[in-house]
């Protein structure tokens, strides 16, 4: 039996408004003549897997919640998402899609967030070496999130992000943090794990969300 908008939102763990926006963009679902959105559960599950999202009834409780709390990067990634085949031919296009897919609450101003990301790129490219970019707002702010969020986006095609080494970007990792302290904490952990070729190779190969999260969680040292 098809799911309605609210049932699909519950399964994806996002708001009905977010699912409705994705559906209007033609990302998933079908529309009845009445304008009502309907979603086949099998299609929803496949779409969620392709985007690196978890269907709610498939989620497993962390085996060690304390361990996750002691790992700022892993905790931020658990609140975020790991996305595959994110579209865009330019950094601006990629950032626009990233803002749309980011699991921030609906009361946040996505237009202002996108503007902040674009302004930050205008100051200096956030592209690192090895085809990875780390876009983030000009300044951490609780206007966009109350807790650190990391969204990993493996791109549909490599993008010229004006990296110093000239390499095209295959993965953009969005950082959203409410405070400067949390931003620096997550950023330092991310810089540490990205030194490992194992992770860079997994990102370039577009490995599964489970594999990428597992690699990051295994590489990140615990605060405990």
What CATH number is associated with residue 118? Answer: 3.40.930.10
Do residue 173 and residue 158 come from a single domain? yes
Do residue 41 and residue 107 come from a single domain? no
Do residue 35 and residue 94 come from a single domain? no
Do residue 141 and residue 41 come from a single domain? no
Domain of residue 151: give its range. Answer: 65-219
Do residue 75 and residue 168 come from a single domain? yes
Do residue 48 and residue 78 come from a single domain? no
Do residue 146 and residue 47 come from a single domain? no
pLDDT in tens, 25-70: 667 776 655 667 788 887 787 777 776 665 654 434 344 444 446 8
Q: What DSSP assignment string belongs to 178-193?
A: SSHHHHHHHHHHHHHH
> What sign results for the dihedral spanned by CA atoms 67, 71, 75, 80?
negative
Half-sphere CA count of 177, side-chain side, radius 13 A = 22
Q: How many domains, in total, are found in the chain?
A: 2
Whether 163 maps to a domain, the answer reads yes
- Is a pLDDT exceeding 80 seen at residue 82? yes
Q: Which of 117, 60, 81, 73 is nearest to 218 (CA)?
A: 73
What is the pLDDT, as a whole number, of residue 62?
43
- Is a pLDDT exceeding 60 seen at residue 1? yes
The mean pLDDT of 135-153, rounded to a whole number, is 94
> Is the CB of residue 177 less than 8 Å from the CB of residue 146?
no
Do residue 95 and residue 9 come from a single domain? no
Whether 224 maps to a domain, the answer reads no
What is the pLDDT, as a whole number, of residue 13?
65
Do residue 80 and residue 35 come from a single domain? no
Domain end residue (candidates: 12, 42, 58)? 58
For residue 151, the Cα-to-chain-centroid distance in whole angstroms is 2
């Amino acid at each position: 039996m098809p799911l309605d908008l609210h049932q699909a939102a519950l399964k994806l763990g996002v708001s009905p408004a977010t699912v409705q926006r994705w559906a209007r963009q033609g990302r998933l679902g079908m529309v009845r003549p009445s304008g009502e959105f309907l979603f086949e559960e099998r299609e929803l599950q496949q779409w969620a897997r392709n985007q690196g999202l978890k269907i709610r009834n498939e989620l497993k409780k962390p085996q060690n919640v304390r361990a996750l709390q002691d790992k700022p990067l892993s905790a931020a990634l658990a609140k975020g998402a790991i996305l595959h085949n994110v579209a865009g031919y330019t950094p601006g296009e990629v950032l626009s899609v990233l803002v749309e897919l980011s699991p921030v609450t609906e009361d946040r101003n996505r237009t202002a967030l996108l503007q902040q990301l674009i302004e930050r790129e205008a100051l200096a490219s956030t592209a690192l070496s090895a085809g990875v970019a780390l876009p983030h707002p000009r300044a951490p702010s609780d206007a966009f999130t109350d807790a650190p969020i990391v969204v990993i986006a493996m791109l549909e095609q490599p993008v010229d992000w004006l990296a110093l080494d000239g390499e095209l970007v295959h993965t953009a990792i969005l950082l959203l943090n409410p405070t400067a302290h949390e931003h620096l904490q997550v950023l330092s952990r991310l810089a540490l794990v990205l030194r490992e070729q194992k992770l860079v190779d997994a990102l370039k190969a577009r490995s599964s969300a489970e594999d990428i999260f597992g690699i990051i969680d295994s590489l990140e040292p615990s605060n405990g």
